[in-house]
Amino acid sequence: MKAVRVHATGGPEALQLDELPTPTPRPGEVLIRLEAAGVNFIDIYQRSGAYKMATPFTPGQEGAGTVAALGPGVSGFAVGDRVASYCGTLGAYAEYAVAPVDTVVSIPAGVTTVQAAAVMLQGMTAHYLTSSAYPLQPGDTCLVHAAAGGTGLLVCQIAKRRGARVIGTVSTADKETRARTAGADEVIRYTETDFAAEVTRLTGGKGVQVVYDSVGQSTFSAGLGVLATRGMMVLFGQSSGRVEPLDPQLLNQRGSLFLTRPTLAHYVASRAELERRSGDVFRWVQDGTLSVRIDTEYPLARAAEAHIALASRRTTGKVLLIPGP
């Protein structure tokens, strides 16, 4: 089978297309013939060496396709079933991948396999951000950075579903249109306007109850300044770089603030939680209340281009890799 491999961490050129044996599922595993794999910032952090990894490795933690084989003792699925997986383990940048059966979910009718691949990680991330990390309530105001990105568009939609007022930040007019379509009530082009000053104006100086920040270094400090008393900073990414160390006393000075640095793996830690989050997301896709925007689909051989596009923050929606010819 063809698979993308990183033999030494570095730039996008580190992503090499290799020929490897098709893996054999072990007890408790499912072999999936992948039709699409999601490209995410964590893949860039791992490929670049920002997150330390043993090499060589095949990147990718989410994908969707059909069951090709079951490991010994595995039940609940059959060969040919359409499935998706977010497993926190690597290997999705390939034609075939094995995944622990406890991380595999069935794709319901009305959701395409490509949609499932596009929404597993980002959709469940948007779900836990808005319902668990800081459970939005009607009347809350939230600030969503990168509101036109793959996760940002989903956060905007789910936040509106929960009755919140949504303020988004974007870089261009086109992204502003997409964020507004996804439900953002107010959109700030941070390339033209100081977002902190504008959030203060839009909230009458009261601030927001929560900031959902996937950007990190360039937005974090100012984001703390727009939180209301006892507000929460939910820092779930670092696309602009790592946040500098923080004196906890600052949280007191700014209004007894809360800070969390969550990751999806801890919010799908049980099979029941995975099924609940993925089930909600798939149902919303089915009934049309959650729109999944796919920005670009790349073949495996162009994985480097996919990483460049995502890192440039010029994408609006999900970036996928498509195995096969």
pLDDT at 177 over 90: yes
Provide the pLDDT for residue 85: 93
CATH of the domain at 100: 3.90.180.10
Tokens of 220: 């974090």
pLDDT at 314 over 90: no
Q: Is 280 a member of any domain?
A: yes
Residue 316 binned pLDDT confidence (cut-offs 50, 70, 90) = confident
Provide the pLDDT for residue 325: 62
Q: Is 131 a member of any domain?
A: no
Summarize pLDDT for 123-162 with one digit per residue, the tens. Answer: 999 999 999 999 999 999 999 999 999 999 999 999 999 9
Number of domains in the chain: 2
Question: What pTM did the predictor assign?
Answer: 0.92
- Grouping H, G, I as helix, E, B as strand and the rest as coil, residue 107 is coil
Summarize pLDDT for 36-59 with one digit per residue, the tens. Answer: 999 998 999 999 999 999 999 999
Instruction: Based on the fold, state whether residues 37 and 102 are members of the same structural domain.
Output: yes
User: Which of 93, 97, 91 has the alpha carbon at shortest distance from 69?
Assistant: 97
Q: Looking at 211, 229, 261, which one is the last position of a domain?
A: 261
Domain that holds residue 203: 137-261
The string of DSSP codes covering 198-264 is: HHHHHTTT--EEEEEESS-TTTHHHHHTTEEEEEEEEE---TT-PPPP--THHHHHTTS-EEE---G
Instruction: Based on the fold, state whether residues 143 and 252 are members of the same structural domain.
Output: yes
pLDDT at 93 over 80: yes
Q: Is 129 a member of any domain?
A: no
The single-letter code of the amino acid at 47 is R
* Lowest-confidence region among 88-92, 99-103, 267-271: 88-92
CATH of the domain at 165: 3.40.50.720
Instruction: Based on the fold, state whether residues 109 and 142 are members of the same structural domain.
Output: no
pLDDT at 324 over 80: no
pLDDT at 35 over 80: yes
Q: Looking at 209, 242, 261, which one is the last position of a domain?
A: 261
Instruction: Based on the fold, state whether residues 108 and 142 are members of the same structural domain.
Output: no
Q: What is the mean pLDDT of residues 14-19?
A: 97
pLDDT at 89 over 90: no
DSSP 56: S
